[in-house]
Amino acid sequence: MTKVKYPQKRNYRQRAHSNPLSDHSFDYPVSPDVMDWTKLYPRFKPENEVKFCDIGCGYGGLLVTLSPMFPETYMVGFEIRVKVSDYVNDRFLALRQDNEVYHNAGVIRTNAMKYLPNFFRKGQLEKMFILYPDPHFKKCKHKWRIVSEGLLAEYAYVLKVGGLVYTVSDVKEVHDWMVEHFTNFPLFERYDPPAEDKAAQVLIGSTEEGKKVLRNKGQSWTAIFKRVEDPYSKLRWDVDF
Protein backbone atom coordinates (compact mmCIF):
# COMPACT_ATOMS: atom_id res chain seq x y z
CA MET A 1 0.00 0.00 0.00
CA THR A 2 1.41 3.39 -0.90
CA LYS A 3 2.32 5.40 2.13
CA VAL A 4 0.10 8.42 2.74
CA LYS A 5 2.28 11.49 2.73
CA TYR A 6 1.96 14.41 5.10
CA PRO A 7 0.27 17.21 3.18
CA GLN A 8 2.20 20.34 2.31
CA LYS A 9 0.37 23.59 2.72
CA ARG A 10 1.56 25.01 -0.59
CA ASN A 11 -0.65 22.49 -2.36
CA TYR A 12 -3.73 23.56 -0.45
CA ARG A 13 -3.69 27.34 -0.66
CA GLN A 14 -7.09 28.97 -0.62
CA ARG A 15 -8.46 32.48 -0.18
CA ALA A 16 -9.10 33.14 3.51
CA HIS A 17 -12.65 34.45 3.21
CA SER A 18 -15.66 32.51 2.11
CA ASN A 19 -19.26 33.70 2.03
CA PRO A 20 -21.11 31.54 4.55
CA LEU A 21 -24.46 32.85 3.37
CA SER A 22 -24.30 31.47 -0.15
CA ASP A 23 -25.14 27.94 -1.23
CA HIS A 24 -21.96 25.93 -1.59
CA SER A 25 -22.32 22.26 -2.30
CA PHE A 26 -22.06 20.46 1.03
CA ASP A 27 -22.79 17.01 2.21
CA TYR A 28 -24.74 17.14 5.39
CA PRO A 29 -27.18 14.72 6.96
CA VAL A 30 -30.89 15.50 7.03
CA SER A 31 -30.74 15.02 10.80
CA PRO A 32 -28.25 13.86 13.46
CA ASP A 33 -30.02 10.47 13.60
CA VAL A 34 -28.83 9.55 10.11
CA MET A 35 -25.28 10.89 10.37
CA ASP A 36 -22.74 8.14 9.73
CA TRP A 37 -19.71 9.07 11.83
CA THR A 38 -17.86 5.87 10.91
CA LYS A 39 -16.98 7.52 7.60
CA LEU A 40 -14.92 9.99 9.58
CA TYR A 41 -13.67 7.81 12.42
CA PRO A 42 -12.70 4.24 11.53
CA ARG A 43 -13.24 3.03 15.13
CA PHE A 44 -16.50 4.85 15.87
CA LYS A 45 -19.08 2.68 17.64
CA PRO A 46 -22.85 3.21 17.93
CA GLU A 47 -22.55 4.14 21.62
CA ASN A 48 -19.93 6.82 20.88
CA GLU A 49 -20.78 10.48 20.39
CA VAL A 50 -18.83 13.45 19.11
CA LYS A 51 -18.27 15.78 22.05
CA PHE A 52 -15.95 18.53 20.85
CA CYS A 53 -16.37 20.77 17.84
CA ASP A 54 -13.82 23.22 16.45
CA ILE A 55 -15.73 25.79 14.42
CA GLY A 56 -13.56 26.99 11.58
CA CYS A 57 -10.77 24.53 12.31
CA GLY A 58 -8.51 25.90 9.57
CA TYR A 59 -5.46 23.69 9.01
CA GLY A 60 -6.29 21.48 11.99
CA GLY A 61 -3.73 22.66 14.54
CA LEU A 62 -6.07 22.58 17.53
CA LEU A 63 -7.43 19.14 16.72
CA VAL A 64 -3.93 17.72 16.29
CA THR A 65 -3.08 19.06 19.76
CA LEU A 66 -6.31 18.02 21.48
CA SER A 67 -6.59 14.57 19.98
CA PRO A 68 -3.83 12.90 22.04
CA MET A 69 -4.81 14.96 25.11
CA PHE A 70 -8.34 13.50 25.08
CA PRO A 71 -7.83 10.08 23.48
CA GLU A 72 -11.25 8.76 24.56
CA THR A 73 -13.17 11.74 23.18
CA TYR A 74 -14.41 12.10 19.63
CA MET A 75 -13.85 15.54 18.18
CA VAL A 76 -14.60 17.15 14.85
CA GLY A 77 -13.56 20.29 13.03
CA PHE A 78 -15.88 22.20 10.74
CA GLU A 79 -14.21 24.04 7.89
CA ILE A 80 -16.00 25.75 5.02
CA ARG A 81 -13.07 26.03 2.59
CA VAL A 82 -12.60 23.05 0.29
CA LYS A 83 -8.82 22.97 0.05
CA VAL A 84 -8.27 23.68 3.71
CA SER A 85 -10.61 20.91 4.84
CA ASP A 86 -8.99 18.60 2.32
CA TYR A 87 -5.62 19.43 3.87
CA VAL A 88 -6.85 18.54 7.35
CA ASN A 89 -8.31 15.32 6.04
CA ASP A 90 -5.00 14.31 4.48
CA ARG A 91 -3.15 15.38 7.57
CA PHE A 92 -5.18 13.02 9.78
CA LEU A 93 -4.87 10.19 7.28
CA ALA A 94 -1.09 10.52 7.45
CA LEU A 95 -1.02 10.94 11.24
CA ARG A 96 -3.19 7.88 11.83
CA GLN A 97 -0.87 5.85 9.67
CA ASP A 98 2.16 6.68 11.79
CA ASN A 99 0.54 6.78 15.22
CA GLU A 100 -1.82 4.82 17.36
CA VAL A 101 -3.66 8.00 18.27
CA TYR A 102 -5.50 10.55 16.09
CA HIS A 103 -8.31 8.13 15.34
CA ASN A 104 -10.65 10.27 17.38
CA ALA A 105 -10.33 13.49 15.35
CA GLY A 106 -11.53 14.43 11.88
CA VAL A 107 -12.80 17.26 9.72
CA ILE A 108 -16.05 17.91 7.87
CA ARG A 109 -16.36 20.41 5.08
CA THR A 110 -19.53 22.25 5.95
CA ASN A 111 -21.09 25.56 6.96
CA ALA A 112 -21.26 25.78 10.76
CA MET A 113 -23.63 28.75 10.57
CA LYS A 114 -26.30 26.71 8.82
CA TYR A 115 -25.88 23.06 9.67
CA LEU A 116 -24.91 22.57 13.33
CA PRO A 117 -28.35 21.13 14.23
CA ASN A 118 -28.05 18.69 11.30
CA PHE A 119 -24.97 17.10 12.87
CA PHE A 120 -25.57 17.42 16.61
CA ARG A 121 -28.47 16.63 18.88
CA LYS A 122 -29.67 19.04 21.52
CA GLY A 123 -27.08 19.27 24.30
CA GLN A 124 -24.67 16.85 22.63
CA LEU A 125 -21.45 18.85 22.73
CA GLU A 126 -19.28 19.39 25.79
CA LYS A 127 -16.83 21.81 24.25
CA MET A 128 -16.90 24.20 21.32
CA PHE A 129 -13.92 26.14 20.01
CA ILE A 130 -13.96 29.41 18.10
CA LEU A 131 -10.30 30.24 17.53
CA TYR A 132 -9.17 33.27 15.57
CA PRO A 133 -12.46 33.72 13.72
CA ASP A 134 -12.50 35.78 10.54
CA PRO A 135 -13.02 39.40 11.68
CA HIS A 136 -15.12 40.45 8.67
CA PHE A 137 -14.34 44.05 9.51
CA LYS A 138 -16.74 45.84 7.17
CA LYS A 139 -20.17 46.54 8.57
CA CYS A 140 -21.80 45.02 5.52
CA LYS A 141 -19.96 41.79 6.33
CA HIS A 142 -20.93 41.65 10.00
CA LYS A 143 -23.63 39.14 9.21
CA TRP A 144 -20.85 36.76 8.10
CA ARG A 145 -19.36 36.82 11.60
CA ILE A 146 -19.47 33.50 13.38
CA VAL A 147 -20.60 35.10 16.64
CA SER A 148 -23.94 36.91 16.52
CA GLU A 149 -27.03 37.08 18.70
CA GLY A 150 -28.90 34.80 16.33
CA LEU A 151 -26.19 32.13 16.15
CA LEU A 152 -25.63 32.05 19.91
CA ALA A 153 -29.05 30.41 20.24
CA GLU A 154 -27.81 27.58 18.00
CA TYR A 155 -24.56 27.20 19.92
CA ALA A 156 -26.55 27.06 23.17
CA TYR A 157 -28.79 24.41 21.60
CA VAL A 158 -26.02 21.97 20.61
CA LEU A 159 -24.05 22.50 23.83
CA LYS A 160 -25.08 20.74 27.01
CA VAL A 161 -25.83 22.79 30.09
CA GLY A 162 -22.44 23.20 31.74
CA GLY A 163 -20.67 22.88 28.39
CA LEU A 164 -17.94 25.35 27.46
CA VAL A 165 -17.13 27.61 24.52
CA TYR A 166 -13.47 28.64 24.12
CA THR A 167 -12.73 31.77 22.09
CA VAL A 168 -9.48 33.41 21.01
CA SER A 169 -8.66 36.32 18.76
CA ASP A 170 -5.64 38.46 18.00
CA VAL A 171 -7.95 41.29 16.97
CA LYS A 172 -9.08 43.16 20.09
CA GLU A 173 -12.27 44.38 18.41
CA VAL A 174 -13.29 40.82 17.59
CA HIS A 175 -12.49 39.64 21.12
CA ASP A 176 -14.57 42.49 22.57
CA TRP A 177 -17.41 41.72 20.15
CA MET A 178 -17.44 38.07 21.22
CA VAL A 179 -17.27 38.90 24.93
CA GLU A 180 -20.08 41.43 24.60
CA HIS A 181 -22.33 39.05 22.67
CA PHE A 182 -21.75 36.02 24.86
CA THR A 183 -22.12 37.82 28.17
CA ASN A 184 -25.32 39.58 27.04
CA PHE A 185 -26.82 36.29 25.96
CA PRO A 186 -29.00 34.76 28.69
CA LEU A 187 -27.73 31.21 28.12
CA PHE A 188 -24.01 31.97 28.50
CA GLU A 189 -21.83 33.22 31.32
CA ARG A 190 -18.17 34.23 31.36
CA TYR A 191 -16.13 31.43 32.87
CA ASP A 192 -12.73 31.30 34.46
CA PRO A 193 -11.32 27.83 33.83
CA PRO A 194 -9.52 26.04 36.62
CA ALA A 195 -5.86 25.11 36.16
CA GLU A 196 -6.86 21.53 35.30
CA ASP A 197 -8.67 22.63 32.16
CA LYS A 198 -6.19 21.24 29.63
CA ALA A 199 -8.02 22.62 26.62
CA ALA A 200 -7.75 26.19 27.91
CA GLN A 201 -3.97 25.93 28.01
CA VAL A 202 -3.50 25.07 24.34
CA LEU A 203 -5.76 27.69 22.83
CA ILE A 204 -3.03 30.04 21.67
CA GLY A 205 -0.07 27.86 20.87
CA SER A 206 -1.69 25.04 18.93
CA THR A 207 -3.09 26.64 15.79
CA GLU A 208 -1.20 27.94 12.77
CA GLU A 209 -2.86 31.31 13.32
CA GLY A 210 -1.83 31.37 16.96
CA LYS A 211 1.76 30.40 16.21
CA LYS A 212 1.95 33.18 13.63
CA VAL A 213 0.75 35.69 16.23
CA LEU A 214 3.40 34.49 18.68
CA ARG A 215 6.12 34.70 16.01
CA ASN A 216 5.13 38.27 15.20
CA LYS A 217 5.07 39.07 18.93
CA GLY A 218 1.40 39.98 18.67
CA GLN A 219 -1.19 39.59 21.38
CA SER A 220 -4.06 37.13 21.65
CA TRP A 221 -7.07 37.49 23.90
CA THR A 222 -8.99 34.50 25.19
CA ALA A 223 -12.46 34.27 26.69
CA ILE A 224 -14.30 31.17 27.85
CA PHE A 225 -18.03 30.88 28.40
CA LYS A 226 -20.24 28.34 30.10
CA ARG A 227 -23.67 27.31 28.87
CA VAL A 228 -26.15 27.89 31.71
CA GLU A 229 -29.81 27.12 32.35
CA ASP A 230 -32.37 29.54 30.98
CA PRO A 231 -32.99 32.12 33.69
CA TYR A 232 -36.42 32.78 32.16
CA SER A 233 -37.72 29.29 32.76
CA LYS A 234 -36.95 29.67 36.43
CA LEU A 235 -39.77 32.18 36.55
CA ARG A 236 -42.26 29.75 35.15
CA TRP A 237 -41.97 26.00 35.03
CA ASP A 238 -40.36 24.88 31.78
CA VAL A 239 -43.28 24.29 29.45
CA ASP A 240 -43.51 21.30 27.19
CA PHE A 241 -46.03 20.13 24.63
Q: How far from the centroid of its chain's Cα atoms is residue 175's Cα?
A: 16
CA dist 182 and 175 (Å) reads 11
Label the pairing between strands 221-227 and 105-109.
unpaired
CA dist 111 and 22 (Å) reads 10
User: Is 134 part of the annotated catalytic residue set?
Assistant: yes
Three-state DSSP state, 226: strand
241 is an interface residue for another protein by CB under 8 A: yes
Nearer to another protein, 103 or 114 (CB): 114
239 is an interface residue for another protein by CB under 8 A: yes
With CA atoms as reference, report the closest residue to 164 among 230, 73, 226.
Answer: 226
The active-site residue, picked from 134, 176, 238, 240, is 134
Nearer to another protein, 16 or 239 (CB): 239
Nearer to another protein, 102 or 155 (CB): 155
Choosing from 73, 101, 114, 205, the residue that interacts with another protein (CB under 8 A) is: 114
Q: How far from the centroid of its chain's Cα atoms is residue 171's Cα?
A: 18
**Maximum separation of any 2 CA atoms in the chain, in Å:** 63
Min dist CB 87 to another protein, Å, is 10
CA dist 100 and 175 (Å) reads 37
Residues 154-193 that bind another protein (CB under 8 A): 154, 156-157, 185-187
Task: Please choose, out of 63-71, 146-154, 202-210, 213-221, the segment that lies near another protein by the rule CB under 8 A.
Answer: 146-154
Choosing from 68, 70, 83, 93, the residue that interacts with another protein (CB under 8 A) is: 83
With CA atoms as reference, report the closest residue to 49 among 41, 57, 61.
Answer: 41
CA dist 43 and 58 (Å) reads 24
Lay out the site mask for another protein across 211-230 (x = CB under 8 A, - = otherwise).
-------------------x
31 is an interface residue for another protein by CB under 8 A: yes
Given the rule CB under 8 A, which residues bind another protein?
A: 2, 5, 11, 20-25, 30-31, 82-83, 86, 113-115, 117-118, 122, 143, 148-154, 156-157, 185-187, 230, 232-233, 239-241
